[in-house]
Amino acid sequence: MLTKFFFMLREGGMKPSITELLMLLEAMKAGVAGHSVDDFYFLSRACLVKDESQFDRFDKIFAAHFQGIEEAFNALVGEVPDEWLRKQAELLLSEEERAQIEAMGGFEALMEALRERLDEQEGRHEGGNKWIGTAGTSPFGANGYNPEGVRIGQQGSRHRRATKVWDRREFRNLDDSVELGTRNIKIALRKLRKFAREGAADLLDLDDTIDKTARNAGLLDIRMVPERHNAIKVLLCLDIGGSMDDHVRICEELFSASRTEFKHLEYFYFHNFIYESLWKDNRRRHAERIPTSEITHKYGPDYKLIFVGDATMSPYEIVYAGGSVEHWNEEPGAIWIKRLLSAYPKAIWLNPEPEQRWEYTPSVKLTRELMEDRMFPLTLRGLDAGIKSLH
């Protein structure tokens, strides 16, 4: 039972290790948990999940495990029209994953395969999990059949430059667990390190010591210096949702790489363009907004400002008051970005859209002008160039 649960967690996109599974087994053997499911829940969570942002995911999988998996799946597939599911897949899957689906014969083939497996499942009644995460091609496996990040309705959203999106989509919080590919980005980001000697002098300065000792007629004169630290400070503003869906993966990678690379890193989210407020937590984006003016007060001009966004929208969203797709903005985005740029002289915009397309999208041209040309493609080379211009 335990190993099955363990593999469900893995399939659900969590990363418990064998070490941790053994730890759980050992704790059970030692009688740490009583016989209640509650006890087992607490114990397995303490053993297997080391990051509270994964608790929610764990809870869902735990619930699915104990309530019977069929139910959970039926709720997802049984009563839901294909069209809706197709949209989910579009929204939830990365470009790569979509290519995989294409390779297995497109979305219809995938749904067919899922349905077959589901029937199999119902016939057999043994609660297997064949259909979950089959080789990573099932949207439900790859995403831990996690219905977060779902946009319901809104047919128009495929047309990229839709003017109003009133549907409130609960955006997925950027998950910084992406490992693959972050190394290159980390190395690029390293170039942004600026070492400074700060704090207590606790390092022997050998050269200076020898020098001073010689001057001191051979009597030791110890010289100490503070250790070097990375003193760079970064504000990272990430566009989320809408036309950025295609780029979520690369943004996640950037985000995950930056988190470990900088001691002073603050990140904020925005949607399409910058206005009077930003937010830090997507699940509470409507409740907990941070005024943009507060950000400029709180973080000094020594911070480097990095926007990440495709800058692809209707130009109204930039130049008009009330142009925002999801709220009424009193002042145009262009004014807000100017304010930010005057507060932070060192700023760049990283754009995941291919550079060739920039010319043809008016909003990108506009943004680039506002950025005084400091827009760079979100490729390793672009990142490199961008970071150079931040010095």
Partner 1 sequence: MNDKKFTGTNSYIATDDLMMAVNAAVTLERPILIKGEPGTGKTQLAIEVASALGRPLHEWHIKSTTKAQQGLYDYDAVARLRDSQLGDDRVHDIANYIVKGKIWEAFASDDQPVLLIDEIDKADIEFPNDLLQELDRMEFFVYETKELVKARNRPIVVITSNNEKELPDAFLRRCFFHYIKFPDKGTMEKIVDVHYPGLKKTLLKEALEAFYKVRDVPGLKKKPSTSELLDWIKLLVAEDIPAEALRAEDSRKAIPPLHGALLKNEQDVHLFEQLVFLDRRTNNR
Of 7, 10, 27, 60, the one binding partner 1 (CB under 8 A) is: 27
Task: Tell me whether residue 15 or residue 86 sits nearer to partner 1 (CB atom).
Answer: 15
Site string for partner 1, 259-278 (x = CB under 8 A): xx--x---------------
Of 45, 98, 161, 327, the one binding partner 1 (CB under 8 A) is: 45
Under the binding rule (CB under 8 A), the answer on residue 25 touching partner 1 is no
Looking at residues 241 to 260 of the shown chain, list those that interact with partner 1 (rule: CB under 8 A): 259-260
User: From CA 83, how far away is CA 81, in angstroms rounded?
Assistant: 5
SS3 160: coil
Stretch near partner 1 under the rule CB under 8 A, chosen from 26-34, 115-123, 142-150, 303-311: 26-34
Under the binding rule (CB under 8 A), the answer on residue 23 touching partner 1 is yes
Stretch near partner 1 under the rule CB under 8 A, chosen from 59-67, 102-110, 152-160, 292-300: 292-300
Under the binding rule (CB under 8 A), the answer on residue 195 touching partner 1 is no
Among residues 174, 359, 190, the alpha carbon closest in space to that of 280 is found at: 174
Distance of alpha carbon 389 from its chain centroid, rounded?
25
Looking at residues 206 to 245 of the shown chain, list those that interact with partner 1 (rule: CB under 8 A): 219-220, 222, 227, 229
Kindly state the helix (H) or strand (E) to which residue 199 belongs, with its residue range: strand 195-204
Give, in order, the Cα–Cα distances in Å from 194 to each of 49, 118, 191, 300: 35, 56, 8, 17
Under the binding rule (CB under 8 A), the answer on residue 47 touching partner 1 is yes
Beta bridge partners of 279: 269, 289
Task: Tell me whether residue 37 or residue 99 sits nearer to partner 1 (CB atom).
Answer: 37
Under the binding rule (CB under 8 A), the answer on residue 289 touching partner 1 is yes
3-7 long-range CB contacts below 8 Å, 24 or more apart?
4/65, 4/129, 5/44, 5/62, 5/65, 6/48, 7/129
For tokens 């990272």, the residue is 236
